[in-house]
Amino acid sequence: MVIVVFDTDPVLLDRCLSSLETLDASRRDGTEIIVVDNSPHDDLGKRFSTGVAQWIRGQGNVGFGRAANLGIQAARGEAVLLLNPDAAVSPRAVAALQTALGEINDEKSLLCGWLTKADGVQVDAYMHWWSSTGRLLRRERYRRYLTRQWEQSTVVVQKVSGGALFARRSVLLDLGPFDERFFLYGEDADLSVRARGLGYQLYAVPDAFILHEGASSQTQHSSLVERARVDAAIRIARYHLRYPLSLLVELDLLLISALGLILRRAGSSGSIEGRRDRLAVIRDWGLRRDRQVFEP
């Protein structure tokens, strides 16, 4: 099991690690916990290293995708669960994922736990979209699809979330797994697009219940989050769509960001600054087909 942390709320990380202690005994005893720490501080390592097989740090803030790759490469188990530090697993989650993987019995498969929050299943964890407008138009319909399917042992989905990705380690390494040009967002969507293009099936496992706080770093690092999110949206469009279509995705981002800034509906100066951060990234991309790796 690989957990990537960066300035993570200690309360959430404690909840995450504590939830692993509630796993079924047979799963808990065979679970290797690896934490990849992108933080420049060693506070978390000193406080939470007990019970962690490997605490990898010193690489600096290299982004989620690259840090996850480091953890997956360091893992020794046959299968790997990539878990967000603001997530808490149910006692049967790992067993459910392993059972589903065995029942599917297909090397070309990627699984994901059933990520939920207070208002239900996290739709964005499983739905792929190219544009903000497309997401807005399709999101409720996809929510209904997931709600209808939740009693199934596995649910075919469009995307597997990096917040609870589960697969054979060999499969992940064959896929990369993550393109390290994505810094904080989009790496799981990119992986899903590439995997589906290679004939992989993507599944969510409802019995692998995982409570996911979500957006735990957005308040403290709002500027970084906004810039990384927009960079990822443009980047994935450039890499997987025809160039003219990728420009339409960028135009959609531009119009929505500019409209939000003009109408001042943000409700706070911080969110207005976030829209300015988004526009700055869109300007930097311009008509480029690619650009340097995003850096904080």
162 domain residue, yes or no: yes
At residue 10 the predicted structure's pLDDT band, cuts being 50, 70 and 90, is confident
| Residues 251 and 148 both lie in one domain | no
Whether the predicted pLDDT of 41 surpasses 80: no
Task: Evaluate whether residue 108 is within a structural domain.
Answer: yes
In a domain, 273, yes or no: yes
Within this chain, do residues 255 and 135 fall inside the same structural domain, yes or no? no
Q: Which of 55, 49, 59, 57 is nearest to 14 (CA)?
A: 49
Any domain includes 261: yes
Q: Read off the pLDDT of each residue in 211-218 and give the average, rounded to a whole number.
A: 68
Domain end among 212, 243, 259:
212
pLDDT for res 48? 86
Same domain, 48 and 165: yes
Domain-located, residue 291: no
- Model confidence at 296, pLDDT cuts 50, 70, 90, reads confident
Residue 235 shares a structural domain with residue 156: no
Q: Is the dihedral of CA 63, 66, 69, 70 positive or negative?
A: negative
Residues 259-285: what's their mean pLDDT?
79
Q: Give the per-residue pLDDT at 214.
A: 66
- The answer, yes or no, to whether residue 179 has pLDDT greater than 90, is yes
pLDDT value for 27: 65
When comparing pLDDT for 121 and 270, which is higher? Answer: 121
pTM of this structure: 0.93
**Distance between alpha carbon 21 and the CA centroid of its chain, in Å?**
23
**Domains held by the chain: number:** 2
Report the distance separating Cα 203 and Cα 160, nearest Å: 7
DSSP assignment letter at 24 = -
Same domain, 129 and 265: no
User: Does the residue 101 lie in any domain?
Assistant: yes
Retrieve residue 6's tokens: 């960066």
The answer to whether the beta carbons of residues 93 and 165 sit under 8 Å apart is: no
Q: Is 110 exposed, middle or buried (0-12, 13-18, 19+ CB in 10 A)?
A: buried
pLDDT tens per residue, range 88-99: 999 999 999 999
Decide: helix, strand or coil at residue 244: helix
Domain extent for 43: 2-212
The model's confidence at residue 219, banded by pLDDT at 50, 70 and 90, is low
Do residue 105 and residue 199 come from a single domain?
A: yes
- What burial letters (b/e) apply to 161-181, b meaning 16+ CB within 10 Å? bbbbbbbbbebbeebbbbbbb
Mean pLDDT of the residues in the chain = 90
Question: Are residues 173 and 141 part of one domain?
Answer: yes
CATH number (domain holding residue 160)? 3.90.550.10
State which of 188, 212, 236 marks the end of a domain: 212
**Same domain assignment for residues 117 and 20:** yes
Return d(Cα 179, Cα 140) in angstroms, integer: 29
Residue 80, judged by CB atoms within 10 A of its CB (0-12, 13-18, 19+), counts as buried
162/60: higher pLDDT: 162
Model confidence at 215, pLDDT cuts 50, 70, 90, reads low
**pLDDT tens-digit map of 106-155:** 889 999 999 998 878 999 999 999 999 999 999 999 999 999 998 899 99
Query: Do 121 and 152 fall into the same domain?
Result: yes
Claim to verify: residue 229 and residue 265 sit in the same structural domain: yes
Reply yes or no on whether the pLDDT at 218 is more than 70: no
DSSP conformational letter for 137: H
Residue 260 has pLDDT above 90, yes or no: no
User: How many Cβ atoms sit within 10 Å of the Cβ of residue 22?
Assistant: 13
User: Averaged over 23-35, what is the pLDDT?
Assistant: 78
pLDDT of residue 269: 47
Q: What is the mean pLDDT of residues 47-71?
A: 89
- Output the 3-class SS for 194-237: HHHHCCCEEEEEEEEEEEECCCCCCCCCHHHHHHHHHHHHHHHH
Asked if residue 62 and residue 187 are part of one domain, the reply reads yes
The average pLDDT across 168-189 equals: 95
Last residue of a domain, one of 147, 181, 212: 212
